[in-house]
Amino acid sequence: MLSIENLSVKVEDRLILRDVNLNINVGEVHVLFGPNGAGKSTLINTIIGNPRYKVVEGSIYFKGKDITDMPIYERAKLGIGLAYQKPPEIPGVKLRDLLKIIARVDWEEIERMAEILKFKDFLDRDVNVGFSGGEVKRSELLQLFAQNPDFMMFDEPDSGVDVENIKLLGRIINHLLEKDRKPADRRKAGLIITHMGHILKFINVDRAHILYNGVIACSGSPEEILNTIIKYGYKRCIRCYQRRR
């Protein structure tokens, strides 16, 4: 579904990502770990096509198409979606109206999902205006559900969310990614950025990567990598980082 080859990215003339390679197949969900400032959000912003993030080397392929220079709306139409870490407030725009514009599923289904997310009362509020951290995350998930993209990225869906809601969000992410279906029936793929492992208890992830200082320092099984991070922090990554850069 997604293939990234030798990708290097500059932001404001500073090189942030260096020689990133990543392959995510249909049916797979990958998780991206890494310390603050490593470049995780930069990678996601580059995949969605935010013009502030300049590809200086390498390519991004989606469903076999080279999308490296494609504008953001074309990528969205092709089926890439993103739940932002910190989406902006949009005063004057009701969540209901935004959902109706972006919807690729029936309104009844959106209402049902809003119900599950305990978010029906928010449909007539201005998007993100005065929302708490957890409410912003639920709003992002509802928008993603409405867009129904094939490839979904989640930038720290668990940050600022209390423990009870992490379970709910984790289960819904798992559902959006069709990880609650039989492997043969899965048509989606995803990339999740998270600091804490909590949410991963509720999502069936296939592979993990650590981004360290703009470089993918290692990849492997999510449990193994998470346990190593919990035990040693990111200090151990320095060795792999130096080998890879």
Residues making contact with ligand ADP (CB under 6 A) = 11-12, 16, 34, 36-42, 52
Query: Shortest distance, CB of residue 105 to ligand ADP, whole angstroms?
Result: 30
Task: Give CA separation, 169 vs 180, 190, 191, in Å.
Answer: 14, 15, 15
The interface region with Mg ion, picked from 38-46, 98-106, 119-127, 234-242 by CB under 5 A, is 38-46
Query: Shortest distance, CB of residue 225 to ligand ADP, whole angstroms?
Result: 16
Helices within 68-202 (DSSP H only): 72-78, 95-102, 107-116, 133-147, 163-176
Task: Give CA separation, 220 vs 32, 54, 56, 216, in Å.
Answer: 11, 28, 27, 11
Query: Shortest distance, CB of residue 226 to ligand ADP, whole angstroms?
Result: 17
CB-wise, 12 or 185, nearer to ligand ADP?
12
Give the number of other CB atoms < 10 A from CB of residue 67: 19
Query: Shortest distance, CB of residue 42 to ligand ADP, whole angstroms?
Result: 3
CB-wise, 71 or 104, nearer to ligand ADP?
71
Question: Which residue of 29, 30, 34, 41 would you call a contact of Mg ion, by CB under 5 A?
Answer: 41
Residue 46 makes contact with Mg ion by CB under 5 A: no
Query: Which residues in 13-51 are b (16+ Cβ under 10 Å) and which e?
Result: eeebbbebebebeebbbbbbbbbeebbbbbbbbbbbbee
CB-wise, 85 or 174, nearer to ligand ADP?
85
Contacted entry of Mg ion, ligand ADP, none for residue 121, CB cut-off 5 to 8 Å set by kind: none
- 158 and 166 in contact (C-beta within 8 Å)? yes
The interface region with Mg ion, picked from 32-40, 58-66, 114-122, 213-221 by CB under 5 A, is 32-40
CB-wise, 41 or 128, nearer to Mg ion?
41
Task: Give CA separation, 3 vs 7, 53, 112, 164, in Å.
Answer: 10, 18, 34, 35
Which residues make up the interface to Mg ion (CB under 5 A)?
Answer: 40-41
